[in-house]
Amino acid sequence: MKFKLKIWKQRDAHSRGSFVTYDLDGVAPEMSFIEMLTYLNETLIGKGDEPVTFEHDCHEGICGSCGMYINGYPHGPVKGLTTCLLSMRYFKDGETIVIEPWRAKPFPVIKDLMVDRTSFDKIQQAGGFISISVGAAPEANAIPVRKHSSDLAFDASVCIGCGACVAACKNASAMLFVSAKISQYALLPQGRPEGKDRVRAMIAEMDKQGFGSCSNTGACEAQCPKQIKLFNIARLNREYFKAY
Amino acid sequence: MNKILFSAVSKKFVMALAGLFLLLFLPVHLGINLMLLKSDPEPFNTAAHFMATFPLVKVVEILLILAILVHVTYGITLQILNWCSRPVGYAVRNKSDTSAFSRFMIWTGGSVLIFLVIHFFNFYFIKLGIVEGDPENFYAVAQQLFVIPSYAILYWICFLILGFHLYHALQSAFQTLGLSNEFWKPVIRVISLIYAIVIPLGFAIIPFVILLFK
């Protein structure tokens, strides 16, 4: 397969970036998007040119590092996939593919397609955890958990913090991410004792980091590679008002 | 406590409450307006007089004006903050699967606000005595306006836009107030759709009847 790649190139956070066009031939349809970019970089290095900087790690859709905005879609046009699981067979031979970094004030570009997602870590560090005393693991069946709650908590916990929700949202809002992190604890008895402090601290940090507010368009849900549902945001709102 | 007052989630909460209050008022307003369809001006003028003089309605009127101010101010403030959250935009337009009604709320809301200002000049300010006119005969004022075709067309366009605004508004308000889940979400969507069609259609019928049959 042959592609025309229009990729955002930016030296560092303070430089002005621009698009650079690359013609790439010999792409196999079974290659993943990340493999295609790696192949591009090999050809660039072979010619003595500077490779394109992008993040990737696990290649199995669970680390959340490979986010990029492809042809108007975070993680590309296929629902429920991360960029690393996006296969090149989903693109037409000869197609022009425009690749941009996540665009949000709290996600400054580090270089090319790589953005700094420390803001997500800060929100998580503000309260996205359960404080426990160290010691032996407690008996798993000692605390009864309703099956439905456990399923919903699990669905929320699959959030990989990739930032696609922020990238897709017209307001660059992080509500889906924060709501997933809040929900996974709010639905389980282990998360309840610190529930109020958690939601207050995480919302305050979210605002401090400069994310926009939610206008309930649902772009985040549509683009989430882990298909986190919008009703988690309603739960986040409930938890927040109950905390005061 | 400061944190809750100034958080974006709280601003949305207040905006949703103010918006819902306005949504409750619309059917009342429509009920009175439908009296314009009668050839006798008495029922409409009596209802308008009651709305202008009954003490309890006066309190609700103040709340309504406050609700409009809060809804508009918070809507604009949040929109500006949201624009600031993405200083550099994308080269390719976002193609995420979302409803068009939800993406243009600030523009549909802004259009409704412009209509509201015109509406205030035509009616509300007469009642307050700011603009000249007979506050005791709004029936005649309305009839005179609706026979102007350009005004009737503007009125229809405004209510079509209001319908677009209301369809997302109701769903969004429930979500913001935390009153939505996997069961209620589709139910709320249907209620929003019915509300967003029935209310604007009810208002739009009035100039249609006056223009064609009177």
Q: Is B150 exposed, middle or buried (0-12, 13-18, 19+ CB in 10 A)?
A: exposed
Pair of tokens at residue B193: 């759709």
CA–CA dist B175, B102 (Å, integer): 13
Q: Closest chain A residue to B11 measured between Cα atoms?
A: A213
- DSSP for A40-57, written as a single string: HHHHHHHTTPPPPP----
Pair of tokens at residue A87: 């296969």
DSSP state of B124: I
DSSP state of A153: H
CB atoms within 10 A of CB A136: 5
Pair of tokens at residue B4: 């809750």
CA–CA dist A37, A43 (Å, integer): 10
Angle at B137 between CA B131 and CA B140, to 5 degrees: 95
CA–CA dist B39, A6 (Å, integer): 66
CA of B88 to nearest chain A CA: how many angstroms apart? 6
Residue A231 sits in the same domain as residue A174: yes
Residue A137 lies in a domain: no
CA–CA dist B177, B161 (Å, integer): 24
Give the per-residue pLDDT at A4: 97
Residue A52 sits in the same domain as residue A164: no
- φ/ψ of A97, rounded to 5, equals -115, 120
- φ/ψ of B201, rounded to 5, equals -65, -40
CB atoms within 10 A of CB A52: 21
Residue A54 sits in the same domain as residue A37: yes
Contacts of B180 in chain A (CB under 8 A): 231, 234
* Mean local confidence (pLDDT), A118-142: 89
Residue A190 sits in the same domain as residue A172: yes
Identify from A237, A239, A242, A244 which residue to disrupt to test chain B contact, counting B C-beta atoms within 10 A and taking the largest count: A237
CA–CA dist A140, A137 (Å, integer): 8
Residue A188 sits in the same domain as residue A73: no
Proportion of chain B above pLDDT 90, given as a percent: 58
Of B92, B102, B181, the CB nearest to A234: B181
Helices (H), B54-183: 55-84, 100-103, 105-119, 125-128, 138-146, 149-176
Give the per-residue pLDDT at A120: 98
Residue B3: pLDDT over 70? no
Q: Do B175 and A105 touch (CB under 8 A)?
A: no
Residue A99 sits in the same domain as residue A174: no
Contacts of A74 in chain B (CB under 8 A): 96
Residue A16 sits in the same domain as residue A105: yes
Note the pLDDT tens digit of each residue in B33-69.
998 888 888 888 888 888 878 888 889 989 999 999 9
**CATH code of the domain covering residue A216:** 1.10.1060.10
Residue A138 lies in a domain: no
Q: Do A204 and B93 touch (CB under 8 A)?
A: no
Kind and range of the H or E element at A8? strand A3-9
Instruction: Please check whether residue A210 is in contact with residue B85, taking contact to mean a CB–CB distance below 8 angstroms.
Output: yes
Give the per-residue pLDDT at B189: 94
Proportion of chain A above pLDDT 90, given as a percent: 93
Residue A56 lies in a domain: yes
Residue A28 sits in the same domain as residue A71: yes
Contacts of B183 in chain A (CB under 8 A): none
CA of B181 to nearest chain A CA: how many angstroms apart? 5
- For the ranges A1-10, A51-60, B80-89, B176-185, which has the lowest average pLDDT? B176-185
- φ/ψ of A4, rounded to 5, equals -105, 115
Pair of tokens at residue A105: 């004030």
Domain count of chain A? 2
Residue A136 lies in a domain: no
**CATH code of the domain covering residue A29:** 3.10.20.30
Q: Tokens 């229809």: give the residue.
A: B156
Residue A88 sits in the same domain as residue A191: no
Residue A161 lies in a domain: yes
Is this complex's ipTM strictly greater than 0.95? no
Residue A90 sits in the same domain as residue A161: no
Of A104, A204, A235, the CB nearest to B85: A104
CA distances from A10 to A14, A15, A51, A77 (A): 9, 6, 12, 24
Instruction: Please check whether residue A222 is in contact with residue B18, taking contact to mean a CB–CB distance below 8 angstroms.
Output: no
B214: confidence class by pLDDT, cuts 50, 70, 90: low
Of B10, B89, B176, the CB nearest to A216: B176
Of B96, B168, B179, the CB nearest to A73: B96
Residue A188: pLDDT over 70? yes
Residue B1: pLDDT over 70? no
Residue A135 lies in a domain: no
Residue A192 lies in a domain: yes
- φ/ψ of A129, rounded to 5, equals -160, 170
Give the per-residue pLDDT at B45: 85
Q: Is A31 left (phi over 0), alpha (psi -120 to 50) or beta?
A: beta
Residue A106 sits in the same domain as residue A121: no
CA distances from B130 to A215, B31, B50, B151 (A): 36, 26, 20, 22
CA–CA dist B97, A230 (Å, integer): 13
**CA-based end-to-end distance of chain A:** 57
**Domain encompassing residue A149:** 117-130+143-242
Mean pLDDT (chain B) is: 89
Give the per-residue pLDDT at B143: 82
- DSSP for A172-208, written as a single string: -B-HHHHHHHHHHHHTSGGGSTTHHHHHHHHHHHHHH
- For the ranges A133-137, A174-178, B74-78, which has the lowest average pLDDT? A133-137
Residue A162 sits in the same domain as residue A199: yes
Note the pLDDT tens digit of each residue in B15-32.
999 999 999 999 999 999
* Stronger pLDDT, B123 or B153, i.e. the higher one: B153
Note the pLDDT tens digit of each residue in B147-191.
888 889 999 999 999 999 999 999 999 999 999 888 899 999 999
B106: confidence class by pLDDT, cuts 50, 70, 90: very high
Residue A72: pLDDT over 80? yes
Q: Residue B13 is which amino acid?
A: F
> What are the strands, taking DSSP E only, across A148-240?
none
